[in-house]
C-alpha cells in the first residue's frame, strides 16, 4: 500500500476529490437501506458553524508522475457544553434562598463525517485520521471527545471502542416524520408564539442550561441564518397568548403546561437520499402518492419522494413542563411539519434522549427512525474545569439531552 499522509483540507484543490469519496460511501449497515449525503459543494459545511472546527483528509503519497489520491476524510469541532450540575451554596452572603442547580461545563470535541474510500478500508486509515484529529483536540484544550454512529455499525464501533479508547455513553433516538402533502391542522386550544432570538436565548439559558450537552454559545445558534425560529406553545386562553411579557417573566409564572422547540434548516446545508430500496418498496411508496393525489379528501399519509435527493428540517431545544406538555409538543411538531412542507422538505427529524418524557408527543415513522443511535465518549485528561462532576464518562444518563443542530 502506498504511504498515506493526513493533512488539513484545502478547499481550493480538495473539494471535488472529497465529494467523490463521499459519493462512494454510504451511511448505514450493509444489506439495509442506506443514506447518501450530498454536501451541496461545501465539504466542510457541517462543522463550519461551530466555534472551532477542522477538516482533515488522508491522501496517498505521490509517486513519479502520479498525483496523490484522497482516500479518506474526517471533520471535528470544539465547543463548551454542560456536563453536569452542582448545588449552589445555601445562605451565601446572608441569603436564605434554597440551593439551586448550577451548570458545570467542559470543553467538548465532536468527531463526525469519518469516511474512508471502500478500496482503502482495513488499512488503518480511519485510525490514523482519528488520532490526528485528537491531536488537534488536545492542542486546543478539549477535555472530552465524542462521536455518534449507528448501533449496528460494527466497524465504526470497534474502531472507536477497541482501538481509540472510547466508551459507549448514550443511546438517544432519532425520530423522523415524513412531510405529507396535507398540512397539519393546529388545535385552536393551543397558541403558538414565535420568540425573538433574545427571548429564545433567555428561555433556554434559564430552562435548559443544566441539560446535558447544552452549548454555552446558544446565542450563536439562535442567531445563525440557518435557524428558522424558536416557537413556544401555551394554552390559547392563557394571558401569554394575548400579551408576551418576555422569557424571564414567563418562567417566573408559566402556565400549567407549555412546550418549546427551535427549527434548523438543514436543507440549505446538505441533502439526503435513501438508497437500496427494492422495486417492490419503491412501487408501494409511489402507489401511496398516487392514491393521495386521486383522493386528497381522504388525507392519506403518503410517503414522500425520499429515494431522490431531499432536504429536511431538524428540531432541537425541545422542552416543556406540565401534564399536557406532550400534547403541546405535538402541536409544535405540526407547525414544524407545515414549515417544512412550504420549503419543499422531505422529512422533519429530531434526536432525543431515550427517556425523554416529551417523546410521546413527537410524531414519527418507526421505519424511518432510529430507536437507538450510539454516542461514544473519551476522556483526554485528569484536569477538570470543576471537580464537582468527576469523570463524565461514568455518569448516568439524565432524562434529556440538548442536541446541537450544527452537528446533526
Q: Is the predicted pLDDT of residue 273 greater than 80, yes or no?
A: yes
Could you tell me if residue 367 is inside a domain?
no
| 138 and 189 in a common domain | no
Q: Which three cell numbers stand for residue 73?
A: 476524510
Q: Greater confidence, 181 or 345?
A: 345
Give the range among 144-158, 279-293, 303-317 with minimum mean pLDDT.
279-293
How many CA atoms lie less than 13 Å away from 71 in the CB half-sphere? 23
Does pLDDT of 386 surpass 60? no
290, burial (CB in 10 Å: exposed 0-12, middle 13-18, buried 19+): exposed
Distance CA 345, CA 212 (A): 29
Q: What is the CATH number of the domain that holds 343?
A: 3.40.630
Strands 144-150 and 101-116: parallel
pLDDT tens readout for residues 281-293? 788 888 888 887 7
Residue 366 in any domain: the answer is no
Q: Which domain holds residue 215?
A: 176-270+311-361
* 384 and 341, same domain (yes or no): no
CB-side exposure of 22: number of CA atoms within 13 Å? 25
Answer whether 159's CB lies under 8 Å from 192's CB.
no
- Over residues 152-177, mean pLDDT: 94
The stretch 187-208 carries a mean pLDDT of: 96
Are 318 and 193 within one domain? yes
- The verdict on 343 and 255 lying in the same domain is yes
| Residues 225, 326 within the same domain | yes
What SS3 class is residue 252? helix
Check whether residue 266 and residue 153 sit in a common domain: no
Confidence of residue 7 (pLDDT cuts 50, 70, 90): very high
pLDDT band at 30 (very low <50, low <70, confident <90, very high): very low
Count of other CB atoms within 10 angstroms of residue 391 = 10
323 found inside a domain = yes
Quick one: 139 and 73 in the same domain? Answer: yes
Confirm whether 141 is domain-assigned.
Answer: yes
Average pLDDT of the residues in 332-338: 98
Between 218 and 386, the more confident residue is: 218
Query: What Cα–Cα distance (Å) separates residue 31 from each residue in 27, 282, 284?
Result: 12, 16, 20
Other Cβ atoms closer than 10 A to 282:
13
Assess whether 390 and 328 both reside in one domain.
no
Q: Based on the fold, state whether residues 151 and 183 are members of the same structural domain.
A: no
Instruction: Dump pLDDT digits (tens) for 75-91.
Output: 999 999 999 988 776 64
Q: Is residue 21 domain-shared with residue 111, that is, in the same domain?
A: yes
| Whole-number average pLDDT of the chain | 89
Q: Is residue 305 part of a domain?
A: no
Number of domains in the chain: 2
pTM of the entire predicted model: 0.91
What CA–CA distance (Å, rounded) separates 89 from 59? 54
Does a structural domain hold residue 118? yes
Does 114 lie in the same domain as 39?
yes
Q: Of 194, 136, 148, 154, whose CA–CA distance to 172 is shortest? A: 148
| Pairing between β-strand 52-60 and β-strand 258-265 as defined by DSSP bridges | unpaired
Beta strands in 45-199 (DSSP E): 52-60, 70-87, 101-116, 144-150, 167-170, 173-178, 190-195
Please state, for a pLDDT cut of 90, what percent of the chain lies above it: 64
Count of residues making up the chain:
408
Amino acid at each position: 500500500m502506498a504511504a498515506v499522509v493526513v493533512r488539513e483540507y484545502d478547499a481550493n484543490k480538495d473539494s471535488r476529490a472529497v465529494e467523490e469519496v463521499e459519493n462512494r460511501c454510504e451511511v448505514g449497515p450493509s444489506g439495509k437501506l442506506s443514506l447518501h449525503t450530498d454536501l451541496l459543494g461545501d465539504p466542510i459545511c457541517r462543522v463550519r458553524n461551530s466555534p472551532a472546527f477542522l477538516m482533515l483528509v488522508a491522501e496517498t503519497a505521490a509517486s513519479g508522475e502520479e498525483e496523490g489520491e484522497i482516500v479518506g476524510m474526517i471533520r471535528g469541532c470544539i465547543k463548551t457544553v454542560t456536563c453536569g450540575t452542582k448545588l449552589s451554596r445555601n445562605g451565601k452572603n446572608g441569603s436564605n434562598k434554597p440551593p439551586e442547580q448550577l451548570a458545570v461545563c467542559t470543553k467538548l470535541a465532536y468527531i463526525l463525517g469519518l469516511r474512508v474510500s471502500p478500496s482503502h478500508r482495513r488499512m488503518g486509515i480511519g485510525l490514523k485520521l482519528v488520532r490526528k484529529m485528537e491531536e488537534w483536540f488536545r492542542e486546543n484544550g478539549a477535555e472530552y471527545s465524542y462521536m455518534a454512529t449507528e448501533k449496528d455499525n460494527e466497524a465504526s464501533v470497534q474502531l472507536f471502542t477497541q482501538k481509540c479508547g472510547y466508551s459507549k455513553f448514550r443511546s438517544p433516538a432519532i425520530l423522523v416524520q415524513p412531510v405529507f402533502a396535507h398540512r397539519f391542522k393546529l388545535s385552536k386550544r393551543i397558541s403558538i408564539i414565535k420568540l425573538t432570538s433574545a427571548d429564545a436565548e433567555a428561555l433556554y439559558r434559564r430552562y435548559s442550561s443544566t441539560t446535558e450537552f447544552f452549548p454555552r454559545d446558544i446565542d450563536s445558534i439562535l442567531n445563525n441564518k440557518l435557524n428558522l425560529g424558536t416557537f413556544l406553545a401555551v394554552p390559547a386562553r392563557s394571558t401569554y397568548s394575548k400579551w408576551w411579557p418576555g422569557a424571564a417573566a414567563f418562567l417566573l409564572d408559566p402556565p400549567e403546561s407549555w412546550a418549546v422547540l427551535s427549527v434548523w434548516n438543514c436543507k440549505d446545508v446538505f441533502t439526503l437520499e435513501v438508497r437500496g430500496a427494492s422495486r417492490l418498496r419503491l412501487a408501494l411508496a409511489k402507489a401511496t402518492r398516487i392514491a393521495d393525489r386521486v383522493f386528497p379528501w381522504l388525507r392519506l399519509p403518503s410517503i414522500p419522494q425520499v429515494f431522490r435527493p431531499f432536504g429536511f428540517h431538524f428540531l432541537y431545544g425541545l422542552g416543556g413542563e406540565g401534564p399536557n406538555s406532550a400534547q403541546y409538543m405535538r402541536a409544535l411538531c405540526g407547525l414544524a411539519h407545515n414549515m417544512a412542507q412550504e420549503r419543499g422538505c422531505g422529512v422533519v427529524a429530531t434526536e432525543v434522549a431515550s427517556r425523554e418524557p416529551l417523546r410521546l408527543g413527537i410524531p414519527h415513522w418507526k421505519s424511518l427512525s432510529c430507536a437507538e443511535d450510539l454516542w461514544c465518549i473519551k476522556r483526554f485528561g485528569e484536569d477538570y474545569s470543576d471537580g464537582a462532576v468527576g469523570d463524565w464518562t461514568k455518569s448516568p444518563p439524565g432524562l434529556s439531552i440538548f442536541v446541537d443542530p450544527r452537528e446533526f
